[in-house]
Amino acid sequence: MSADEAVQKPPSNPDLERGTVNLFEPSFTACPQPVYRKLLERCPVARSVVGDGPVISRYEDVVWALRHPEIFSSEMDIQVALGTERPMIPQQIDPPAQTKYRKILDPRFSKRRMAEIEPEVRSAANELIDRFIDAGRCQFNQQFAIPLPCNAFLSLMGLPQEDLALFLELKDGIIRPHVGMEAPDAEACAKVRVATGQRIYAYFEDVIAARRAAPRDDLMSYLIEVELQGERLSDNEILDICFLFLLAGLDTVTATLGCNFAYLAANPEQRRSLVADASLLDGAVEELLRWETPVTAVPRLVKRDVEVNGALLKAGQMAMLLLGASNTDDGEFGNALDVDFSRERNRHLAFGAGAHRCLGSHLARMEVRVTLEEWHRRIPEYEIEPGAVPTYSAGIREVQHLPLVWKTGA
Question: pLDDT (tens digit, 0 to 9) for every residue of the chain, 410 residues total?
Answer: 433 333 333 334 444 445 788 888 888 888 999 999 999 999 999 998 877 899 999 999 999 999 999 999 999 875 446 888 899 999 999 999 999 999 999 999 999 999 999 999 999 999 999 999 999 999 999 999 999 999 888 988 999 989 989 998 998 898 888 777 777 677 888 889 999 999 999 999 999 999 999 999 999 999 999 998 889 999 999 999 999 998 888 889 999 999 999 999 999 999 999 999 999 999 999 999 999 999 999 999 999 999 999 999 999 999 999 999 999 999 999 899 999 999 988 999 999 999 999 999 999 999 999 999 999 999 999 999 999 999 998 878 989 899 999 998 74
Q: Supply the Cα-derived Rg of the chain in whole angstroms.
A: 21
β 231-232/318-321 pair status? unpaired
> Would you call 368 exposed, middle or buried from its count of C-beta atoms within 10 A (0-12, 13-18, 19+)?
buried
Long-range contacts of the stretch 73-81 (C-beta < 8 A, 24+): 73/300, 73/301, 73/302, 73/303, 74/98, 74/300, 74/301, 74/356, 75/301, 76/299, 76/300, 76/301, 76/318, 78/299, 80/190, 80/193, 80/194, 81/190, 81/193
Q: What is the pLDDT of residue 8?
A: 36
- Residue 11 CA: distances (Å) to CA of 31, 289, 354, 381: 6, 21, 32, 29
Q: pTM of the predicted model, to two decimals?
A: 0.90
Cα 139 from chain centroid (whole Å): 20
**CB of 35 closer than 8 Å to CB of 21:** yes
Give the amino acid at 63.
Answer: V
Q: What is the pLDDT of residue 182?
A: 73
The H or E element spanning position 228 is: strand 227-228
Q: Where are the domains of the chain?
A: 3-405
What DSSP state is assigned to residue 74?
A: S
Nearest-CA neighbor of 72 among 332, 325, 315?
Answer: 315
Cα 238 from chain centroid (whole Å): 22
List strand residue ranges (DSSP E) for 23-176, in order. 45-48, 54-56, 72-73, 137-139
Can you name the residues that pair with 311 across neighbouring β-strands?
308
Pairwise CA distance, residues 165 & 143, whole Å: 13
Q: What is the pLDDT of residue 367?
A: 96
Q: What is the pLDDT of residue 208?
A: 96
Pairwise CA distance, residues 359 & 351, whole Å: 9
Dihedral sign, Cα of residue 130, residue 131, residue 134, residue 135: negative
Find the distance separating the first CA and the last CA of the chain, reported in whole Å.
Answer: 34
- What are the helix (H) ranges across 133-227? 140, 147-157, 164-175, 186-213, 219-225
Phi, psi of 345 (to 5 degrees): -115, 110
**CB of 366 closer than 8 Å to CB of 311:** no
Q: What is the pLDDT of residue 81?
A: 65
Nearest-CA neighbor of 152 among 370, 344, 341, 309?
Answer: 370
Overall fold of domain 3-405: Cytochrome p450 (1.10.630)
Collect all residues with Cβ–Cβ distance below 8 Å to 367 and sequence separation of at least 6.
121, 148, 149, 152, 253, 257
